[in-house]
Structure 1
Amino acid sequence: MMQDLARIRAFVQVFDAGGFSAAARQHGRSKALLSKYVTDLEDYLGVRLMNRTTRKLSLTEAGEVYYREASALLQQLDDLDATITDQTSEPRGLLRVSAPRNFGESTLAPAIYEFLRAHPKVTLDLRLEDRYVDLVDEGIDVALRISTLADSALIARKIADMHVVAGGAPALIERVGRPFHPDDLRHLPCIVDVNLQGHSNWRFFEDGKTISVPVSGPVRVNSPLAAREAAAMGLGFVVLPSYLADPLVARGELVPILESYMPTGQTLQAVYPHRRHLAGKVRALIDHLVAWFEKHPVN
């Protein structure tokens, strides 16, 4: 049985790698051994699975069917092995995490570093960047995202509630007046953070319905921290996540506006690819973050 699995795995590895030489390099096995395994498998099945030329490797019709089923079988076996391993060992290995830059630097990093202190066999690749990251293509284990809905192709778990704040500097309000309805912002200077959902169409709630207000102003920037600084200098009104707005509000440098119209329901989510088995290190990190933000809520 183990020999049969070795032949099946060799076949899948060769096709995934695009050839015998590439598979040999990736998996630390000899090209001759991989070739023998695939030939033995074809002899056993009595059918050719691969068309081999010096430049190209492709699957036969039978090979396509066998590859699809064999890949699923091997994935199930790998998942089963990983499940048993996770139940009997502590988290270990490389953990690739993606998060928004400013949130990661100001709020998330301490929580994750505390996780590393508790699990010294885990190493971290933390990628802080303000762009949409394709988890599968970029090999990310888990992404921390602030949003209302998860990507339908991914699995998400809520970590904590998040809030947004609209506000302006006292000098700005003195100069242009205080908006009392979201529509008032159409004619007032605003700082547009292009990372914000909707960009220059800000979303508010009125009578249970979402309203979208187009805004414009002297600054468009792809950083909430830079948007905050522009707002603090009185250049325009701004919408910010609470973890960036609250320190300025506490110091009197930013005055909240339109509180009763602000959207709710945003959450910090841990998002990961749709897999039957969630790696133990990822599950452990998510559990840790849920517990951390229960003790350190993001107001």
Structure 2
Amino acid sequence: MSKYEELEAFARTVEAGSFTAAAKQLGVAKSAVSRRIQDLEARLDTQLIVRTTRKLTLTDQGRAFFERARVLLCDWEETEAIVSQNQKSISGIIRISAPLSFGVSHLGPALIEFQQLHPAIHLDVDFTDRRVDLISEGIDVAIRIGHLPDSGLIARKIANIRTIAVASPDYISHHGMPQTPDDLKGLFELRYSLRNTHRWSYVSPDGVPGELEIPPKLSASNGEFLRDAAIAGMGVLLEPSFLLYDDIRAGKLVQILPEYSWDELGAYAVYPPIRHLSARIRAIVDHIAKHCGGQKPYWDDF
């Protein structure tokens, strides 16, 4: 057993909080992680982790060793990254988490292209709207949409995300085109249930902010389903433009109050703070950002 494997098993177990999670990150059996840490403790003649049925607790020696081990692992990754950059090739596993609808529709082509450009890379992609814990679940980079809360994660904005109000032509024909936000109060909302607030925030053409709440006709946790409900004429919908642009181009949906600015969001690549960002993580974040188009993403061309 190499000293590096022992060190890595120990650090990943501490970061992940369990042998099981560390084993998943490392791609080995739980027993292998436990054995590596036992061998490390035996070699050092020091107990680093106190094991109970419910949790793992570091000893004083374990805490001191973990801080140094984390620095050593970062230095090792930095050394590998320098060599990889010199060889102009990258390899290894990249674990990615991304929102379902945005990920499949807009990241999917970029990830496939990236894999083709870098055949030595193994992408492990989790498309989910669940907010994952990057460290405990061993995720290298996550794509998140919205307003990012303060956290210990590093974030890079990869695209602006506009939200727009829409309805079907038939719905507008029957109820009339709203001329002001107050006119929306007499209509029914198709509500995205995972949004942090049920109020619609906006800024008027002359720069005056405001907000309103519309009674829901239908609530769901999937934006594509709500888009289909809007096309069917069931109500008005406030969603990111990346979900709606094709149907606006096709005339299946029309914008409501397009001169108003609704809630502005962002798409971000987030990753744990480390002293050196590995070459493969930097490469895939750069690739995704280039694909999305930054300040003027391609899905806003309608």
Q: Distance in 2 between matches of 1:82 and 1:158?
A: 24
Matched with 2:201 is 203
Distance 1:143 1:10 in 2: 22
2:135 is the counterpart of 1:129: no
1:187 Cα deviation from its structure 2 partner: 2.3
1:76 aligns with 2:71: yes
- How big is each residue's C-alpha offset from its partner over 1:213-262, in whole Å with a ceiling of 9 and x where there is no partner? 21223210111100000000110000122122111111211110122222
CA distance in 2, matches of 1:239, 1:128: 22
1:213 matched residue in structure 2: 212
Q: Residues of 2 paired with 1:88 and 1:230: CA distance?
A: 52
User: What residue is the counterpart of 1:260 in the other structure?
Assistant: 259
Deviation at 1:292, TM superposition (A): 2.1
Matches within 5 A, 1:51-70: 63-64=59-60, 66-70=61-65
Query: 3-state SS of the aligned residue for 2:230?
Result: helix
Deviation at 1:85, TM superposition (A): 0.5
Q: Following TM superposition, where does structure 1 have runs of at least 4 consecutive aligned residues deviating by more than 3 angstroms?
A: 8-18, 27-31, 33-36, 48-53, 55-59, 148-151, 206-210
Correspondence for 2:299 = 298
Counterparts of 1:120 and 1:149, CA distance in 2: 33
Residues 112-158 of structure 1 deviation map (CA, whole Å, 9 limit, x = unaligned): 11111111111111111122222222221111122233543211101
**What 5-or-longer segments of structure 1 have no aligned partner?**
43-47
| 3-state SS of paired residue (1:123) | strand
Q: In the alignment, residue 238 of structure 1 is paired with which amino acid? A: L
Task: Provide structure 2 residue ranges, at least 5 long, that are not aligned to the other structure.
Answer: 20-28
Distance 1:38 1:97, change over 3 A: same
What is the aligned partner in structure 2 of residue 26 from structure 1? 33
TM-score (norm 1): 0.80
Aligned counterparts of 2:12 and 2:160: Cα–Cα separation in 1: 46
Matched residue, 2:273:
274
Matched residue, 1:87 = 82
Tell me what 1:45 maps to.
Answer: none
Is this contact kept in 2: 1:94–1:125, CA < 8 A? yes
In structure 2, distance between residues paired with 1:194 and 1:211: 21
Counterpart for residue 188 of structure 1: 187
Q: TM-score, normalised by structure 2?
A: 0.80
Determine which structure has more spread, i.e. the larger CA radius of gyration. 1
Output the CA distance in 1 between the equivalents of 2:57 and 2:196: 43
Paired position in structure 2 for 1:36: 42
In structure 2, what residue type is equivalent to 1:219?
A: L
In 2, Cα distance between the equivalents of 1:112 and 1:37? 43
Aligned positions of 1:209-248 closer than 5 A = 210-248=209-247
CA distance in 1, matches of 2:99, 2:12: 37
Q: How many residues align?
A: 279
Q: CA separation of 1:23/1:194 partners in 2, compared to 1, >3 Å: closer, same or farther?
A: closer
The separation in 1 between residues aligned to 2:144 and 2:180, in whole angstroms, is 29
SS in 1 for 2:245: helix
Counterpart amino acid of 1:36?
A: A
Q: 1:78 and 1:173, CA in 2 relative to 1: closer, same or farther beyond 3 A?
A: same
Matching residue of 2:25: none
Letter matched to residue 293 of structure 2: E
